[in-house]
Amino acid sequence: MKPIANRIYKAIFIVSLISMITMVLTLLIANESLEQTMLTMQPDLSQSPISAPSAPHSPFVWHSESHQIAYIPSKPDISVTAPAVFSALQDQDSAEVKVGDQTYLLNKQVIEHGTLYVARNITAFEKREERFNALLILLVLGISILSWWLARISSRKISTPLRKLSHTIQQLPVGPNLPQLKLNYQDQELHDIAQTFNRFLAELTAYMQREKNLLNLASHELRTPIAVMAGAIDVIESRNQLGPADHKTLQRLKRANQDMADNINTILRLSRHEAHSDETEIDLEHLIHELLIDMSSVYAIKERVQLHCHETSHVKNNALLVSMLLRNLIQNALQHTTGTIHINLYADHFHLQDQGSGLTTQQQARLGQNHAPSTGGLGLYIVTLMCEKLDWQLTLQSQPNQGTQIELYFSQSAHPPTT
């Protein structure tokens, strides 16, 4: 994509070249027309002493520095030919010839008793024409260079305010409080663009503030009933008055309540803008062990999960988001499958393989979506959002009744090995 300054520069330069070419062609046409007029113009010999010679049958030759004149009668007394310079005039009335370093313009005129030949020396005119052409070439070069320079300077001058406006917009900080653009532009169009963009920024800031207020409200209004339900479940469980079927149902309620709390915490966390200062050094092996211990109160971790740490793996990133992402991946596998889950940890990636029925095409398509799905669960969409925030890459392979294989690479530059 080329800057607008190039288009302005080319437009000005092309207009200048067209104007210069038009001027040069006009001068060349005028000069050629003048030369053609001199070539075809018949000399006025009415005052010449040979226009009516006293001896009409006698030849006459006369020359000077500027002219050569010869008179050849129709019926000469003696055999005579015109001077050699006039040999170019055979079937023509005028011609231009070069004799040595001299250039002559020839004319032939038939009068009453014979033919009159006139040769005018136009060497000075030809030299002046050569100097004119050389000067014209220098003028073309000079005007071309001047046009290029003026076009470049003009394009820069015209595009500089627009470039400054673009740079100012690019430098705007991303955050809840977006600063307004200055309106100190001399050009009306740039002033209108900045003013329109300021209105957009004001609307965007107001929208972000409303979103922040809604998140703060949701943080309180959603967490409170979940905490109440978790407390009530713990109280019922502590009474130890339930039968096996009721106890199983209560455990399902406990898992669902915990899943809802985890999802709400994840969504609220993703909705906030995390600063780079939140990045810390994370020991992924230790973190995964802690997550499995934490989930062991709800899921049969020892019976279902096999963890293999092949290499030491440390990453520098947002510890809370990393924990949420790994928890989400492992928890989804535990919720939607009943077989063994294999987790392999390498230096640059995390690998998870379950023995479930596999994901449908629609479920796999949710990975990489840039908008929340209108139907179905949010699990895979949340995974996509967390990978984007962490700048990690996730690949998924799933086939019906053969389970799902997930690979999580700890940077966008890392790519899965080719098979």
- What are the CA-CA distances from residue 204 to residues 170, 174, 178, 182, 210 (Å)? 16, 11, 8, 17, 10
Q: Are residues 248 and 387 in the same domain?
A: no
Residue 178 lies in a domain: yes
**Residue 349 to residue 417: CA distance in whole angstroms:** 11
- Residue 170 CB coordination number (10 Å): 7
Taking the CA of residue 114 as centre, how many other CA atoms within 13 Å lie in the half-sphere pointing to its CB? 24
DSSP readout, 297-353?
A: TTS-HHHHEEEEE-S--EEEEEHHHHHHHHHHHHHHHHHH--S-EEEEE-SSEEEEE
Residue 93 lies in a domain: yes
Residue 419 lies in a domain: no
Q: Are residues 152 and 111 in the same domain?
A: no
Q: Are residues 373 and 293 in the same domain?
A: yes
Residue 180 lies in a domain: yes
For 380-395, letters b (16+ CB in 10 Å) and e give bbbbbbbbebbebbbe
Q: Are residues 14 and 154 in the same domain?
A: yes
Q: Is residue 174 over pLDDT 90?
A: no
Q: Are residues 325 and 227 in the same domain?
A: no
Taking the CA of residue 257 as centre, how many other CA atoms within 13 Å lie in the half-sphere pointing to its CB? 18
DSSP-derived letter for residue 398 is E
Exposed (0-12), middle (13-18) or buried (19+): which is 404, by Cβ within 10 Å?
Answer: buried
Confidence of residue 377 (pLDDT cuts 50, 70, 90): very low
Q: Are residues 225 and 249 in the same domain?
A: yes
Which secondary structure element, helix H or strand E, spans residue 15, and what is its range?
Answer: helix 4-40
Q: What is the CATH number of the domain that holds 370?
A: 3.30.565.10
Q: Are residues 74 and 205 in the same domain?
A: no
Question: Among 271, 287, 304, where does a domain finish?
Answer: 271
Of 24, 300, 260, 268, the C-alpha closest to 136 is: 24
- What are the CA-CA distances from residue 330 to residues 43, 289, 325, 337, 385 (Å)? 110, 12, 9, 11, 17
Q: Are residues 349 and 392 in the same domain?
A: yes
Decide if 296 contacts 255 (C-beta within 8 A).
no
- What are the CA-CA distances from residue 407 to residues 160, 308, 330, 393, 414 (Å)? 48, 14, 12, 8, 11
57-71, 106-120, 338-352: which has the highest mean pLDDT? 338-352
Q: What is the pLDDT of residues 297-314, one digit of tens each?
A: 778 899 999 999 998 889
Residue 278 lies in a domain: yes
Task: Answer whether 0.75 is exceeded by the pTM.
Answer: no
Q: Are residues 90 and 224 in the same domain?
A: no
Provide the pLDDT for residue 375: 39
User: In degrees rounded to 5, what are phi and psi of residue 180?
Assistant: -85, 150
Residue 211 lies in a domain: yes
Q: In Å, how far from its chain's centre is CA 401? A: 46
Q: Are residues 253 and 182 in the same domain?
A: yes
Number of domains the chain contains: 4
Q: What is the pLDDT of residues 8-37, one digit of tens each?
A: 777 888 888 888 888 888 888 887 777 667
Provide the pLDDT for residue 305: 92
Task: Give the angle subtended at the CA of 173 by the CAs of 172 and 175, to the nearest 5°.
Answer: 130
**Residue 348 to residue 310: CA distance in whole angstroms:** 11
Residue 418 lies in a domain: no
Residue positions counted in the chain: 419
Please give the structure tokens belonging to residue 238: 């502590």
Question: Among 164, 187, 215, where does a domain finish?
Answer: 164
Print the domain residue range for 327. 274-409
Confidence of residue 344 (pLDDT cuts 50, 70, 90): very high
Question: Among 141, 164, 187, where does a domain finish?
Answer: 164
Average pLDDT value over all residues in the chain: 78
Q: In Å, how far from its chain's centre is CA 301? A: 52
Looking at residue 212, its amino acid is: K
Decide if 407 contacts 395 (C-beta within 8 A).
yes
Please give the structure tokens belonging to residue 205: 């800031």
**Residue 353 to residue 340: CA distance in whole angstroms:** 9
Provide the pLDDT for residue 350: 94
DSSP-derived letter for residue 173 is P
Q: Are residues 262 and 310 in the same domain?
A: no
Q: What is the pLDDT of residues 274-299, one digit of tens each?
A: 444 467 899 999 999 999 988 887 78
Contacts of 266 (CB under 8 A, 6+ apart): 324, 328, 382, 386
Q: Are residues 329 and 357 in the same domain?
A: yes
Confidence of residue 373 (pLDDT cuts 50, 70, 90): very low
Residue 20 lies in a domain: yes
For 247-268, letters b (16+ CB in 10 Å) and e give eeeeeeebbebbeebbbebbbe
